[in-house]
Amino acid sequence: MQTTGRILIVDDDKSILQSLKILLEDVFEDVKTISNPNLILSEYQKGCYDIVLLDMNFSSGINSGNEGIFWLNEILKTDKQAVVILITAYGDVDLAVNAMKEGATDFIIKPWNNDKLISTLNSALKIRKSQLEINKLSKEKETLSAEINKPTQKIIGSSTSMSKIFTLIDKVAATDVNVLILGENGTGKELIAKEIHRKSNRQFKPMISIDMGTIAETLFESELFGHKKGAFTDAREDRTGRFEIANGGTLFLDEIGNLSVSLQSKILTALQKREITPIGSNISIPIDVRLITATNKNLEDLIKKGLFREDLYYRINTVQIELPPLRERQEDIAHIADFYLITFKSKYEKPLLKFSNKAIETLLKYSWPGNIRELKHTIEKAVILSTGSSLQPEDFMLKQSTNSTEWPLKFEEIEKQAIIRALKNNSGKMIDASKELGLTRQTLYNKIRKYNL
């Protein structure tokens, strides 16, 4: 039975290469031989090998072992955790021992004992797999720490529409069905996803969130499915994909309506097969994720236009939750505003600040085209700029007529102005502006390019 492992053998003696290949290809899944040491680095990066079996001498009449040590160091520059086993003559054992101090894993002596050679390779393969597992766990820990340390926000709402949504959340959370969340920008779709995960049987496993609108198409597969070192030009190390990191937990794909049809098919294949294959690997990885998706687009209209796959739509849409815009939840506006006032007056050390009655009336009459996100930023801005003990209508700087339910500005223009204000408020500092807007830095970069700011 073959062992899962990829071996690269480097020796200038083609008879040795042939003998080793015949011996090892029945034991390991892939055995590659090369006689020219100048090809080592390109082949190693391309093939994602677990072990390199490396001769110590290549030039005729030279037996110093320096060539082997040179190529050992070159491999280790490429991959600090590379597993390299040296092939040496009996008289060069001291050289091989010195090479282990340089970073070699082990050595074998010519002529070798077949059983001992295979045993040595199997032991080295275990070391390699342990290293890869440690790297994987370390990367998962970093990703999970970032997710866990994200500031949490509670869902506020006692309106009839929100009460129905809370009831629906309770019903679907205990199941593993895929959920599609619909709603305008800023309505709190990710908060709903987090609430479903928090109440689910997967609550002690990770919930991994991805904004699909911020992933470049060329990086899509690497981001979601991972890649092996050397799979493409910039793949300098193995990367664990988001599907694999979320294994056992919940994967939240925000703005799924922004995906191209070709990328939609890749998502669909992963969901159907319940497995993913990292770029540069031929080994599939089983996945067990609860999928939650969200979009502000009408997917049924996109299906009619041929812009969204109908089979993917039905795959992700076992249960649909539609969030109402804030203008349809008027009874929740004051409660949400109070929550943010408490948050920001504490943050900016203005403990006595409160709303005037006219300020509340202004907030209730405004149509909130940017929804909860706009309300949050409006309150924060008013708290920062306030000079008195109570907030007045003019502190909100809302340009829309308060007795009109129509939107005089398109959302894009409102968003553009919000970005301009945030950049100005933070002296052009991207990281601070992104925090004020509640966006990731990458999303803010994308929107700045979009609006040519």
Structural domain spans, the chain: 3-132, 150-322, 326-450
**What is the per-residue pLDDT for 91?**
59
Same fold, 3-132 and 150-322: yes
Which of 12-26, 90-104, 198-212, 409-423 shows the lowest mean pLDDT across its residues? 409-423
Residue 395 DSSP SS3: helix
**How many of the other CB atoms lie within 10 Å of CB of 167?**
9
Place of tokens 């294949």: 269
pLDDT tens digits, residue range 351-407? 889 999 999 999 999 999 999 999 999 999 999 988 888 999 999 998 754 444 444
CA–CA separation, 434 vs 211, rounded Å?
A: 15
Average pLDDT of the residues of the chain:
86
**What is the per-residue pLDDT for 415?**
72
What's the predicted TM-score (pTM) here? 0.60
211: which DSSP letter? Answer: E
Give the mean pLDDT of 102-130. Answer: 88
pLDDT tens digits, residue range 274-300? 999 999 888 889 999 999 999 999 999
Main-chain dihedrals φ then ψ at residue 54, nearest 5 degrees: -120, 125
Q: Look up residue 426 and give its amino acid.
A: N
Please name the CATH architecture into which domain 326-450 falls.
Answer: Orthogonal Bundle (1.10)
Main-chain dihedrals φ then ψ at residue 401, nearest 5 degrees: -60, 130
**What is the per-residue pLDDT for 137?**
67
Tokens coding 51:
């072990």
> Does 12 score more than 60 pLDDT?
yes
**What is the per-residue pLDDT for 149?**
46
Residue with the bigger pLDDT between 132 and 198: it is: 198
**What is the per-residue pLDDT for 63?**
60
- Model confidence at 84, pLDDT cuts 50, 70, 90, reads very high
Helix H segments across 291-370?
299-304, 310-316, 330-347, 357-365
**What is the per-residue pLDDT for 270?**
94
> Does 26 score more than 90 pLDDT?
no
> Does 86 score more than 50 pLDDT?
yes
> Does 176 score more than 50 pLDDT?
yes
Asked if CATH classification 3.40.50.300 holds for the domain at 150-322, the reply, yes or no, is: yes
**What is the per-residue pLDDT for 171?**
95
Which of 46-60, 108-122, 161-175, 232-246 is the most confident on average? 161-175
**What is the per-residue pLDDT for 403?**
42
Main-chain dihedrals φ then ψ at residue 398, nearest 5 degrees: -90, 120
Instruction: State the burial class of residue 5 (Cβ atoms within 10 Å of its Cβ: 0-12, 13-18, 19+).
Output: buried
Tokens coding 70:
């040179």
- 114-148 vs 14-24: helix axis angle to the nearest 10? 70
pLDDT tens digits, residue range 38-73? 999 988 877 778 999 998 887 655 566 678 888 999
**What is the per-residue pLDDT for 2?**
61
> Does 252 score more than 90 pLDDT?
yes
CATH code for the structural domain at 3-132: 3.40.50.2300
Q: Which of 44, 27, 36, 35 is nearest to 117 (CA)?
A: 27
Which of 92-106, 142-156, 341-355, 429-443 shows the lowest mean pLDDT across its residues? 142-156
Residue with the bigger pLDDT between 208 and 419: it is: 208
Residue 271 has, within 13 A of its CA and on its CB side, a CA count of 21
Q: Look up residue 72 and give its amino acid.
A: L
184: which DSSP letter? Answer: -
